[in-house]
Chain A
Amino acid sequence: MSSSGIQLSRAAFFRGMRDTAVLALFVVPFGAAVGATAVAQDLSATASLVMSALVFAGASQFAALELWVEPLPLVSIAMITLAVNARFLILGAALAPWINQLRGFSWFITCMSLVDANFPYARSRLREQPDIGALLGSGAILWLAWVFGTALGAGAGRLLGSLDVFGMDVLMGGLFMAFVVQDLRQSRRFLPVVVAAVVAVVTRDVLPAGWNVVLAALAGGLSGLIGRAHG
């Protein structure tokens, strides 16, 4: 993988935003769901907005909101957030060859732009063209959609009906499956995918929430070292 000479251009930033626009559109209802859930748990609309703006991680926000009872269990909330978001460590490490060519604030804000939804896009775009604007742009539009969605949900108070009716709940699964298929088609390396899938499923009930994904990613990564080096 080529990771030399990282650039940061406005063009890549705006292309990142444009390429991620449709996905961002679907993120809005998710944001609304978290905003409505937060308000239902007695957070103020402002607090809900600030949470989405600063945390920018939907799965952990939903998980933490389930614990939002009085008195607030601060340690449990922190731990569930850490557990569910632990996979961000993996995502960051995977993109590190590009991210670590940046310094200071650029490096920091790029790290903060990373979320599940733009990881596959950033990964494939950076291989074509090492311009970190792609990650920043896709992150920016997702963040805007997330915060906007949260505001809608917090303002509306309650969402009518389940998201299943619109197929929203399979959005992530479908998107990620597509990227896995894309990778398999290009690399023809099936072992890491099989290993990761098996480990994730088998350890799901024995590990705390989210850790099965981390373990599966590490196992899949290690299995990638088996066999001939590919060119």
Chain B
Amino acid sequence: MDEATTWAAIGLMALVTALVRLAGPLIMRYVPLSPRVERFLEAMSVSVMAAIVASFLAQNGLREVVAVLVAAVAMLAIRSPVVAMMAAMATGAIWAALV
């Protein structure tokens, strides 16, 4: 593999990712913060998390759905996101081992 193009590719990936990380706050510099904008941002921030979960479940099967539901129940019961995450992982691991 050509060294120069490898580094060019890595550099491109880094540049693109950096620009996209900066773009969010940059765009918001020009958008004045009104109550409507605040509500939009709040709704959007929970939406992006819900979208990631939904997208993940849509491309996977019952095991993943059950594991994520376990995380939801664990969160309601224990109120710790990391514990809920570990409950999901334990479910996923046990399922993979037994099913």
Which residues of A approach B to under 8 Å, CB–CB?
A: 1, 3, 22-23, 26, 42-44, 47, 50-51, 54-57, 60-61, 64, 68, 70-72, 74, 77-78, 81-82, 85-97, 99-100, 107-108, 111-112, 114, 116, 119-121, 123, 164-185, 187, 189, 192-193, 195-201, 204, 212-213, 216-225, 229-230
Contact = CB atoms under 8 A, between A and B. Distances in A.
Contact of B84 (A119, A123, A175, A216): A175
Interface in B78-99: 79, 81-82, 84-94, 96-97
A204 B20 contact: no
Q: How large is the interface on B (under 10, 10 to 19, 20 to 34, 35 or more residues)?
A: 35 or more
A72 B24 contact: no
Given A180-B49, A200-B51, 15 more contacts: A51-B14, A55-B17, A56-B17, A71-B5, A85-B16, A93-B24, A96-B27, A120-B49, A179-B81, A180-B53, A201-B58, A213-B52, A216-B55, A221-B44, A223-B43
Interface of B: 1-2, 5-14, 16-18, 20-25, 27-29, 33, 35-36, 38-59, 63-64, 67-72, 74-76, 79, 81-82, 84-94, 96-97
Q: Which 10 A-B pairs have the closest CB atoms?
A: A224-B43, A92-B24, A220-B47, A174-B88, A221-B44, A167-B92, A167-B89, A96-B28, A216-B51, A196-B47
